[in-house]
Amino acid sequence: MSDYSFKSKHIISMRDLDRAELDYLVETAGAIEEGRIKPDMRGKIAALLFFEPSTRTCFSFESAMKRMGGEALLMKGTGATSVKKGESFTDTLKTIERYSDIIVIRHAIEGAARLASEVLQLPVVNAGDGANQHPTQALLDLYSIKKTHGTLDNLKIGLVGDLRFGRTVHSLAQALASYNPEFYFVSPGFLEMPAHIKADLTARGIKYTEVSEVEPVVPELDIMYVTRIQRERFADPEDYERLKGSYIIDLKTIEGAKKNMKILHPLPRVDEITVAVDSSPHAYYFDQAENGVYMRQAILSILMGGIQK
């Protein structure tokens, strides 16, 4: 392990992390998976506050904490909390802060995790805020790409699907920007990558091409990152009905792919990758979900000072 002092207290947005921090997180996740380091979280408690539904993020954080000997307080929705009696968001957080050592928060409102980091003394981890950011997903995506390709540098990456509302692709594009990628943004016009992300990439000298069809770019790609059309973020259900099923990746779609092209997906999927693709050597999305545990062990232990150098 490199000797490195992690600078960030919180993980809220990919723009807050520099390349050295990203490398350190990826390196730490690898060392944890391979058993070279064993973070000790005994006596530590993580509060996992999920104001929005989750399977992978929530359970992988819980699994990560338990594998390190720590414990987790789990809130799945506000139904059984005093939010139902009218307690404010910040009062809820300031109370739970007294019971835990780190706060992991998912919320439908963009900026909720940033606000939490401003009112709390504890480290705060953004587990997804609306259509904005999902930085811990991007970190496990980096770790997955490093495992499959041996490097993060100079890769050709296709981001496919809902690039407008898909927070994972916003974070991943900004994370990969530290590694000189060439991007293909594949989406219908209505769901294109937000202008502020594209402006950020341009300012950092990153090349991207926007297209509406996936097949022509498949032979170029090292990574095809497929996303669900985010039904819950559409203001007009008719737009969702018009755009759902825009991309369905099947075995024919990937016929011309490079041998080591890997398909990633943050999951859950609806219909954008057929089940037949799961047994293809290109499919990597369930391994990717497993990698989330190692990366979240790295995140929790680094932010709580549990890595022994």
CB closer to ligand CP, 245 vs 268: 268
Q: Which of 10, 28, 44, 56 is catalytic?
A: 56
Residues 6+ apart with CB under 8 A from 57: 50, 106, 127, 128, 134, 136, 137, 292
CA distance 178 to 238: 38
Distances (CA, A) of 9 to 127, 132, 135, 303: 15, 20, 14, 6
> Least distance to ligand CP from the beta carbon of 166, Å?
10
- Specify whether 67 is catalytic: no
> 17 near 285, Cβ under 8 Å?
no
Residue 294 or 307: the one with the smaller Cβ distance to ligand CP is: 294
Q: Which of 42, 84, 85, 309 is catalytic?
A: 85
Q: Which residue has the tokens 């990560």?
A: 64
Residue placing its CB nearer to ligand CP in the complex, 128 or 161: 128
Closer by beta carbon to ligand CP, 130 or else 306: 130
Q: Is 85 a catalytic residue?
A: yes
Name the catalytic one among 107, 134, 146, 170: 134
135 close to 126: Cβ distance less than 8 angstroms: yes
Least CB distance to ligand CP at residue 228 (A)? 9
Q: How far is the CB of 270 from ligand CP (least distance, A)?
A: 13
57 given a catalytic annotation: yes
Contact residues toward ligand CP (CB under 6 A) are 54-58, 128, 137, 266-268
The CA-CA-CA angle for residues 253, 271, 194, to 5°, reads 85
Instruction: Look up 19 and say whether it is catalytic.
Output: no
Q: Which residues are catalytic?
A: 56-57, 85, 106, 134
